[in-house]
Amino acid sequence: MTPFGAKVRELRARRKVTLKEMAAAIGVSSAYLSALEHGKRGTPTWYTVQRIIAYFNVIWDEAEELQRLAEASDPRVVIETGGLDPKATELANLLARRIAELKRPQLDQLIEAIRSAEPRRRR
């Protein structure tokens, strides 16, 4: 399951909406919506995310969170390390081989370490 899929499922459960009901309302098949929730489809289009935001009538922070989660939910990631430091290639390969073995706390630690290394955006 992707972060976006988990959030959509949480919203559906919270509002007691079936997959079939939501799919019909946003104009997609229930099979597509199920695959999206389970991470068996790629990142949803901007248009699909907007229809989901409108369907749940979420605003501001929650809408931004859905958009951010959609952008971070591609289940088929390719990491190009050509031209980078050899350690980047080592990291990418190690992560590809071992990601299934990592537990939630370890994943959280890695995510936090990488996010903390991101350059700060000017406001």
The ranges of the chain with pLDDT < 50 are 123
How do residues 18-36 score in pLDDT, each as one tens digit? Answer: 999 999 999 999 999 999 9
What the block records as the tokens of 1 is 């399951």
Report in angstroms the alpha-carbon separations of 54 from 7, 25, 45, 60.
15, 10, 14, 12
Domain 3-71 has CATH 1.10.260.40: yes
Q: Where in the chain is the domain with CATH 1.10.260.40?
A: 3-71
Question: Residue 120's pLDDT is what?
Answer: 66
Dihedral sign from CA coordinates of 103, 108, 111, 114: negative
Question: Residue 39's pLDDT is what?
Answer: 87
Report in angstroms the alpha-carbon separations of 66 from 11, 27, 33, 48, 75.
11, 18, 15, 11, 16
Question: What radius of gyration do the chain's Cα atoms show?
Answer: 17
Question: Residue 76's pLDDT is what?
Answer: 83
Distance separating alpha carbons of residues 103 and 97, to the nearest angstrom: 14
Question: Residue 122's pLDDT is what?
Answer: 52
